[in-house]
Amino acid sequence: DISTNVLTRSLEAAVFAHQPPLIHGRRIKLRYAHQGGSNPPIIVIHGKQTDRLPGNYSRYLEGWFRKEFQLMGTPIRLEFRTDSNPYEGKYDIRTPLQRFKAKKGERQIAGMKRKSAANAERRARDEAASGNTPPASSVKAGKPAAKATTTKTSTRNSAKGAAKSTARPSAKAAAPKTVAKANSRKSALSARPAAKVAPRKPGGGRGGRTGGK
């Protein structure tokens, strides 16, 4: 008896030495082999499209196994079995629009994955280049940079104070003008002649009428 492992390795060596022919643009695939009988020796070979295997290739395999296992003068029978297709009889019932949308969604997902991977690589390169350290200007400046900022703020405050101090005296100076205007109005009023009081006619009543009816 010959083990399945030995037969499969011998089949792989035979296929590697001489490939099966193409059938309608597709290669005949021989997967594995095992012993199916001993008198006479039967070797069962499983694969794809084995029913289309030409006779000359089957005779090549017979000669290979006879030489490999030293079975000279012994008839060898080969049996080929094709694996069943699990998708046979199953069809895509989707409409062309549904298939188009499905492919479009797959392309969008693939594009998003590529973009995220590219962003992650760019971020990693940036971090490696920077070394997770602050900029050189801030490192070199250190505390003096903070001092410089304080001096800038102090100069700004002093400038604002000077502007305020210069603006206040002008407001005070404007006060005497208003006082002068008030004094001039009072002097003008005092300079006017006093109004004469009209003498009152004797007799009561309106229109100079005398009393009594």
| Gap between the Cα atoms of 58 and 71, Å rounded | 16
* Residue 77: pLDDT over 60: yes
Provide the domain count of the chain: 1
Question: Which range among 124-128, 138-142, 204-208 shows the weakest confidence by mean pLDDT?
Answer: 138-142
Task: Classify burial at 33, counting beta carbons within 10 Å of its beta carbon; exposed 0-12, middle 13-18, buried 19 or more.
Answer: buried
* Confidence band of 73 (pLDDT split at 50, 70, 90): confident
* Residue 1: pLDDT over 60: yes
pLDDT tens digits for range 43-62? 999 998 888 899 999 999 99
Residue 35 domain-assigned (yes or no): yes
Residue 22 domain-assigned (yes or no): yes
CATH code at position 24? 3.30.300.20
Residue 115 domain-assigned (yes or no): no
Q: Please give the single-letter amino acid code of residue 83.
A: D
| Gap between the Cα atoms of 60 and 158, Å rounded | 105
Residue 153 domain-assigned (yes or no): no
Residue 205 domain-assigned (yes or no): no
Q: How far is CA 146 from the centre of its chain?
A: 37
Q: Whole-model pTM above 0.85?
A: no
CB-based contacts of 196, cutoff 8 Å, min separation 6: none
Residue 16 domain-assigned (yes or no): yes
Q: What is the mean predicted confidence (pLDDT) over 191-195?
A: 58
Q: What is the mean predicted confidence (pLDDT) over 82-97?
A: 84
| Gap between the Cα atoms of 85 and 80, Å rounded | 16
Which residues partner with 37 through β-bridges? Answer: 42
Q: What is the mean predicted confidence (pLDDT) over 146-161?
A: 55
What is the signed CA dihedral for 9, 10, 16, 17, rounded to 10 degrees?
Answer: 160
CB atoms within 10 A of CB 132: 6
What is the domain range of residue 8?
4-82
Residue 65 domain-assigned (yes or no): yes
Residue 73 domain-assigned (yes or no): yes
